[in-house]
Structure 1
Amino acid sequence: MSINISPLASQNLTEWRLLWQDYLDFYQVNLSDDIIQSTWQKVSNSENIKGFGAFVDNKMIGFVHIVIHPNTWNLTDCCYLEDLFVLPEYRNQGIGKKLIEYIYQYAQEHKYNRVYWVTDKNNHQAQQLYNKLANDSGVIQYRKNF
């Protein structure tokens, strides 16, 4: 199976929306159409937020979104891997790994000082992959929503 990873473009909107909804369903999150449209605009046409799709035979089967930002501990920007999703029927075939490795390469080419992400503590399947590709930072995330 040949996998192509490329930046999201306007022709990917319909497929991305279907995968994005599957991703939101997995996390049991409901977002308004305004937020979904805004997210699409950001991941497909923003300086600091980027989206990339994984394609097999021109069919989008996964995506990754990153947020580029400055930080107080380095002179160069960081890359936060905010979202990663692969259709269930394509999981355990190395696609998530390829998406992360693509982001690693992208980050190195752009001289970002690190790629980092968080995952749900109960998402053990994803953690099996992440433990092979990066180090658990031991950080606990706290949050207060407004």
Structure 2
Amino acid sequence: MSVLIRPVRNDDFDRWLPLWDGYNAFYGRHGASALDPAITRVTWQRFLDPAEPMFAGVADVDGALCGLVHFLYHRSTTRIEPVCYLQDLFTAETARGQGMARALVEHVYAHAGAAGVRRVYWQTQAGNAAARVLYDRLAAHAGFIVYAHDV
């Protein structure tokens, strides 16, 4: 098995979409709570637009996509250079335990480093125990609790 972690390409959409759907289902965004398809279309377009600070990488195993990572750069009040928010990370169930999630996070680290960004951060649900085992190896838990409110 040959695994290549690489940026998405325009022709990846049909292979990326089932991973995106799986990610959203994992976080309860399906059925009546599903994302509006327009959000998916605009998100995909942003990944491919060089003027956007949003990026997507995939784990490509002999032409089959088995994982995704989405990240973006933004300003911070605590740093001069931008920071990187790793927003989405997902691997297909059949690909778990093979190091793909680690490789996808390391892809983000490399991309951020090349862009002069020194901090990558992300969040996950407290109950996502399997992912947290990996995350605890890759980064320091800062202890923050996330609040959100739609307006």
Taking structure 1 as the reference length, what is the TM-score of the superposition? 0.96
**Divergent runs of 4+, >6 A:** none
**Once the two structures are superposed, what CA deviation does each residue of 1:102-121 show, in whole Å capped at 9, x if it has no partner?**
11111111110200000011
Aligned to 2:44: 40
Q: Following the alignment from structure 2 to structure 1, what is the Cα–Cα distance between the partners of residues 61 and 49? A: 23
- Give the SS at the match of 1:79: strand
Alignment length (residue pairs): 146
The unaligned stretches of length 5 or more in structure 1 are none
- The answer to whether residue 103 in structure 2 is matched with residue 105 in structure 1 is no
Q: Which of 121, 130, 148 is the aligned partner of 1:125?
A: 130
Write the letter of the residue equivalent to 1:40. W
Unaligned residue ranges in structure 2 (runs of 5+): none
User: Matches of 2:91 and 2:28 in 1, distance apart?
Assistant: 16
Q: How does 1:57-76 map to 2 (within 5 A)?
A: 57-76=62-81
Q: Does structure 2 retain, via aligned residues, the 8 Å contact 1:74–1:113?
A: no
SS in structure 2 of the partner of residue 83 of structure 1: strand
- Counterpart AA for 2:99: G
Contact preservation (8 Å) 1:63, 1:86? yes
Secondary structure of the structure 2 residue equivalent to 1:75? coil
Q: Secondary structure at the match of 1:112?
A: coil
Give the drift of 1:57: 0.3
Q: Corresponding residue for 1:21? A: 21
Do residues 115 (structure 1) and 92 (structure 2) align? Answer: no
Q: Cα distance, 1:42 vs. partner? A: 1.4
Q: CA RMSD in A?
A: 1.0
Aligned: 1:95 with 2:100: yes
Deviations 1:66-113 (A, max 9, x none): 011011111101000000010001001100000101111111111102
Aligned to 2:82, which of 77, 85, 94? 77
Query: Would the aligned equivalents of 1:7 and 1:50 in 2 still touch at CA under 8 Å?
Result: yes
Aligned partners of 1:5 and 1:84: how far apart in 2? 13
Instruction: Please give the alpha-carbon distance, in whole angstroms, between the structure 1 residues aligned to 2:47 and 2:133.
Output: 27
Over the matched positions of the two proteins, sequence identity in percent amounts to: 35
